[in-house]
Amino acid sequence: MDTKRFLLAIGSTLLILWLYQAWLEYQYPAYYQQQESQEQTAQAPQSDAKEPQSSTTPETESSAGGKGAVPEMRQEEAAASTSTPQVQRQTTQTASLRVSTDVLELAFSGQSGDPIGAELKAYRKEDRPDSPPVSVLAPRGERVAMTQTGWLNSSKGGPEATHQTAFQGPQTDRIELKEDQDKLQVTFSRTVDGVEFRKTYHLRRGSYAVPVEFQIRNNSDQTWQGHLYGQFRNRGHKAGSWILYDYDGPVIFAQDEMQTFSPSALAEREGSEFRADDATGWAGVMSRYFLTAWVPAEESGSTIYARGVANEAYPGFASAFPAVAPGEQTSVTHKLYLGPKDQSLLEEQGRHLRRSVDYGILSFLAIPLFEVMQFFHSLVGNYGYAIILVTLLIKLLFFPLFSMSYRAMAKMRKVQPELQRIRENYGDDRQKMNEEMMRLYKEEKVNPLGGCLPILVQIPVFISLYWVLLESVEIRHEPFIFWITDLTSQDPFYVLPVLMGASMVVQQMLNPAPLDPVQKKVMMALPVVFTVFFIQFPAGLVLYWLSNNLISIAQQWWIMRKTA
């Protein structure tokens, strides 16, 4: 029965991991698609001073277009999309204006007046002082992400201003938020046939949310009626392995569901588009720790969409713009979020932006785990110690369950000599040997499967904590002690994995020794296998497992001492 218990524990672990991996591939197919094609089509990094202009523009379906209608691309644009690579056929634009606040460094297109570059001053790409800041928008390179906004007239040939229209902005190349300022605004405008289109960006100190006011002043003799859209142009979708899950690509939140896509998956859809009418939805591009998103005003009744063209994706929103009579002006304000997936900041923004922090199928366990970790961090100021305290709390909560398991193993240890005698006496008669073992278990009230409970309990906690460490920007680049400078990265010197392997050896010494010689060898090799396996995991996750082992050793030693 020792062998069965051992095989059940290992088999259960592998089965759960396999099922979890299969579920991830089913739930998030975009993570696993187009990796090879992306490597072939990725462009070499170039200067960010120029922006390729996309020809993918929403167009109204009819003059009476309903709210949030998102029609197909114009026929000539669709044909061009499939004939030649977009980068080769597009003209370039200069980033003529840079705007700096205390948290953001933005670059605006010299033509359309849209943000095409955005850097987060408080976050660096790598955990070193000389590392450049994180870019969430960039017009060139292997990862392209930039905004595109515009108005479309419901009447064919009527005045409109798309992201391909030339706008005029401030007559300077740089604007900075001064120390005595709390906010600033930047306006771009263009007049077409007597209709003035204006985009005004309102930036505030300490804020990653940028309200964008879209305004029309109608100086013509015809009522203007049409639609407004805001979208991202995204190229460079990144998949990831099941060990290091690292999505970077388009994301849609609509109808209370968050969806991720690869450009190829979008392009294969009928009509090359996903769309949903949802006044509370949003669309954007997200990576593991950062999010750029258009969050349209609820009163606009927007349609959330994502379309794919070749190797690029265009997630965005479209909504009916209020009709503007001659001599009048109308404005609508939508929000552009450019920042970290800090859960407190996302919660402040509302509109379910916090759902972009995706903990997977075990979110119901991972979210409270994160909240508890945040509480402990507020007390001790170190996420490494917070992980240890979370581990201790879990062990205390499940102490009755673990106690039953350790008592079962202690009893198994006591009957080991008798089990060995039975094995020697009835080794040639397996049926008789099993009958005698079952009789002994019954007499001594021993449950040979009781030792599996700690493993089965730890697996969901382990996976949940893995997601918390992988998805929580709050823990990104957070140090522990000495050489552990980033709990979300591997231990650079593999000290924690080695200590974890050593703790497994100590645990084996406390457990009943396997009777089968082959199983003994397997058990001896298991700490080595797990050590090599855990080398690939974030240091915070290894710290959790090591802490769990050390606390388990202490609990098991104390219980076995009382049982002896």
User: What is the pLDDT, as a whole number, of residue 454?
Assistant: 64
Can you list the positions of beta strands (E) in 22-103? 50-52, 92-100
Task: Give yes or no: residues 286 and 335 share one domain.
Answer: yes
Is residue 559 a part of any domain in this protein? yes
- Nearest Cα neighbor of 263 from 316, 318, 307, 317 is 307
- Nearest Cα neighbor of 510 from 545, 548, 554 is 554
| Three-state SS annotation for 488-499 | CCCCCCCHHHHH
Task: Give yes or no: residues 308 and 402 share one domain.
Answer: no
Rounded distance between C-alpha atoms, residue 559 and residue 324, angstroms: 78
Task: Give yes or no: residues 154 and 243 share one domain.
Answer: yes
Is residue 297 a part of any domain in this protein? yes
Is residue 29 a part of any domain in this protein? no
Task: Give yes or no: residues 117 and 245 share one domain.
Answer: yes
User: What is the pLDDT, as a whole number, of residue 254?
Assistant: 93
Is residue 11 a part of any domain in this protein? no
Rounded distance between C-alpha atoms, residue 131 and residue 133, angstroms: 7
* Sign, Cα dihedral of 394, 395, 400, 402: positive
Task: Give yes or no: residues 322 and 420 share one domain.
Answer: no
Contact (CB, 8 A) for 360 and 366: yes
- Nearest Cα neighbor of 320 from 307, 328, 312, 330 is 330
Task: Give yes or no: residues 162 and 271 share one domain.
Answer: yes
Integer distance in angstroms from the first to the last C-alpha of the chain? 22
Is residue 41 a part of any domain in this protein? no
Is residue 37 a part of any domain in this protein? no
User: What is the pLDDT, as a whole number, of residue 142?
Assistant: 82
Is residue 2 a part of any domain in this protein? no
Domain of residue 302: give its range: 48-355
Task: Give yes or no: residues 376 and 280 share one domain.
Answer: no
Q: Return the SS3 of 177.
A: coil
- Nearest Cα neighbor of 105 from 89, 94, 116 is 116
- Nearest Cα neighbor of 486 from 544, 543, 538 is 538
Q: Put residue 12 in one of left, alpha, beta given phi > 0 → left and psi -120 to 50 → alpha.
A: alpha
Contact (CB, 8 A) for 136 and 290: yes
- Order of strands, edge to edge, in the sheet holding 290-295? 183-192, 195-204, 209-218, 329-340, 290-295, 282-286, 249-254, 257-260
Task: Give yes or no: residues 433 and 334 share one domain.
Answer: no
Task: Give yes or no: residues 52 and 94 share one domain.
Answer: yes
Is residue 469 a part of any domain in this protein? yes
Domain end (from 304, 332, 355): 355
Residue 195 is encoded by which pair of tokens? 């209709």
Domain end (from 355, 383, 412): 355
Q: How far is CA 552 from the centre of its chain?
A: 32
Whole-number Cα distances in Å, 405 to 82, 280, 456: 62, 48, 11
Task: Give yes or no: residues 179 and 152 share one domain.
Answer: yes
Total domain count, the chain: 2
Task: Give yes or no: residues 400 and 330 share one domain.
Answer: no
Domain end (from 303, 325, 355): 355
- Nearest Cα neighbor of 307 from 27, 72, 67, 51 is 72
Task: Give yes or no: residues 554 and 495 share one domain.
Answer: yes
Rounded distance between C-alpha atoms, residue 329 and residue 219, angstroms: 9
Contact (CB, 8 A) for 218 and 194: yes
User: What is the pLDDT, as a whole number, of residue 240?
Assistant: 52
- Tell me, what CATH number does 318's domain have? 2.70.98.90
**pLDDT, tens digit only, all 564 positions of the chain:** 344 444 444 555 555 554 544 444 444 343 334 333 343 333 333 334 344 445 465 654 433 334 444 444 333 333 333 222 233 334 445 668 999 999 999 999 988 999 999 999 999 998 888 899 999 999 988 889 999 999 999 988 899 999 999 999 999 999 999 999 999 999 999 999 999 999 999 999 999 999 999 999 999 999 999 999 999 999 876 655 545 567 888 999 999 999 888 776 776 665 557 889 998 999 999 998 999 999 999 988 899 999 888 788 999 999 999 999 999 999 999 999 999 999 999 999 988 999 999 887 888 999 999 999 999 999 999 999 999 999 999 888 877 777 776 666 667 767 777 777 877 787 677 787 778 778 877 777 776 655 566 667 777 887 888 888 888 999 999 999 999 999 988 899 999 999 999 998 888 887 666 555 666 677 778 888 889 888 888 899 899 989 988 998 888 787 767 665
